[in-house]
Structure 1
Amino acid sequence: MINKVWFFLIGIGVVFAMLTGRIEAVSQSIVASTGNTVELIIKLCGMMCLWCGVMKIATESGLTEKLAKVLRPILGRIFKREGKSHAAMESVIMNLTANMMGLSNAATPAGIKALEEMQKLNPDKDTATDDMAVFLVLNTACIQLVPTTVISIRAACNSTNPGMILLPAIISTTTAAICGVVFCKILQRYF
């Protein structure tokens, strides 16, 4: 669906440029933006390597395991059935820990594994369970202790203080995660 929306928006832009006689400006803009995109990607690759290294150090030093110990009792109260299985809980904790460190790329395999483990206990294979829905909400609106991707983008775009978003990110993502879980729990009672 999103591909159709993007195609529609780009199509309207090109048609409007042709009607107003500004197609050359569109061509110049495309060429300029592709060069900027390549530069941004190269800068982001370096920043992502740095943050992946930081995450590896956090894992080796035991920081992620300590974070997992804090999360385990909280998640045990949030999940009702499928999410409480040991295999699913380990994957959920790995996913949420990576997301909290801002490494969503590293979190994806653990998230897929968590849903696979929950699906094994799902009695109706065609419908997501309440625990699956809660996990997806937590995965999407995860608390960001270190929003590495946004900090990397801000640094790549020459921000004077890329890390100044740290506190607002923690506040907004914590609020989003709490609201998401609360709304899931309310909706579970009615559906």
Structure 2
Amino acid sequence: MINGIWLGMIVIGFLFAAVNGRMDEFTAAVFDGAKNGVTVSFGLISVLVFWLGIMRIAEDAGLLKKIARVLGPVVAFLFPDVPKGHPAIGYILSNMSANLLGLGNAATPMGIKAMQELQTLNPDKDTATPAMCTLLALNTASITLIPATLIAIRLNYGSTDPAGIVGTTLAATAVATLAAIMADRMFRRLTLMRKPPKPPAQGTNKSISGSRTLPHSSLKG
């Protein structure tokens, strides 16, 4: 779907440039965009490598384990249907820790692994479980303490205060995360309310029918 949208935008831009006789400007814009993309990518690579290195040092020093201990009760509350000690819990904690540090590229592989592990608990492989929906919502609107990627982009474009968005980013992501959790809780309750009642066990029906026939047998005796 996304590829089709981008292809459509390129084709429409090319046609408009051809009709209006502005192919030179169109070609120049294409090459300028490619050059800017490479420049920004190099800036992002340097910052991401730095923060990934910091994260590796934090992991070796045991900082991520401490963060995982702090987030453990939160994860248990947000994912009550995931058994304690399941491999998905570890990947969820890693995903949340990376998002807290603003390392979206590092959080994505952990999120994918968490989804794969949650899929092993899914009785209906074609439908996402509530835990999967919760993880998707939290990964999209995660609280970010250090928006490393945005800081790198602002730095590459000559911002005089590239880290000036830390406070506003923290406030915005906190509000988004709170809204995501509230929506998740609401939809979980709606899902439980819409579930049909479980049919009575087969043994229960037999015992009931048996109790109805007992008086007749006793009268015959």
Q: Which residues of structure 2 form unaligned runs of 5+?
A: 192-221
1:102 is paired with a residue whose SS is coil
Q: In the alignment, is the contact (CA less than 8 A) between 1:102 and 1:144 conserved in 2? A: yes
Matched, 1:36 2:33: no
Q: In the alignment, is the contact (CA less than 8 A) between 1:134 and 1:184 conserved in 2? A: yes
Residue 5 of structure 1 aligns to which amino acid in structure 2?
I
Residue 69 of structure 1 aligns to which amino acid in structure 2?
R
Q: Distance in 2 between matches of 1:52 and 1:142?
A: 18
Matched, 1:132 2:132: yes
Shift of 1:82: 2.4
2:127 is paired with a residue whose SS is coil
Shift of 1:155: 1.4
Residue 184 of structure 1 aligns to which amino acid in structure 2?
D
Alignment correspondent of 2:98: 98
Matched, 1:70 2:70: yes
Q: Distance in 2 between matches of 1:172 and 1:88?
A: 27
**TM-score, structure 1 as length reference:** 0.92
Shift of 1:179: 0.6
Matched, 1:61 2:61: yes
2:158 is paired with a residue whose SS is coil
**TM-score, structure 2 as length reference:** 0.80
Q: Distance in 1 between matches of 2:168 and 2:176?
A: 12
Using a 3 Å threshold, how does the CA distance of structure 1 residues 41 and 129 change in structure 2: closer, same or farther?
Answer: same
Shift of 1:83: 6.2
Matched, 1:21 2:21: yes
C-alpha offsets along residues 113-151 of structure 1, whole Å, 9 cap, x if unaligned?
Answer: 212222222222221111111011111111111111111
User: Larger relative CO (CA 8 A, sep 6+): 1 or 2?
Assistant: 1
Q: Distance in 2 between matches of 1:85 and 1:131?
A: 15
Q: Distance in 2 between matches of 1:84 and 1:147?
A: 31
Q: Which residues of structure 1 form unaligned runs of 5+?
A: none
Q: Which protein shows a greater Rg?
A: 2
Alignment RMSD (CA, Å): 1.6
Residue 28 of structure 1 aligns to which amino acid in structure 2?
A
Shift of 1:109: 2.4
Alignment correspondent of 1:160: 160
Shift of 1:15: 1.4
Residue 35 of structure 1 aligns to which amino acid in structure 2?
K
Count of residue pairs brought into register by the alignment: 191
Q: Distance in 2 between matches of 1:93 and 1:83?
A: 14
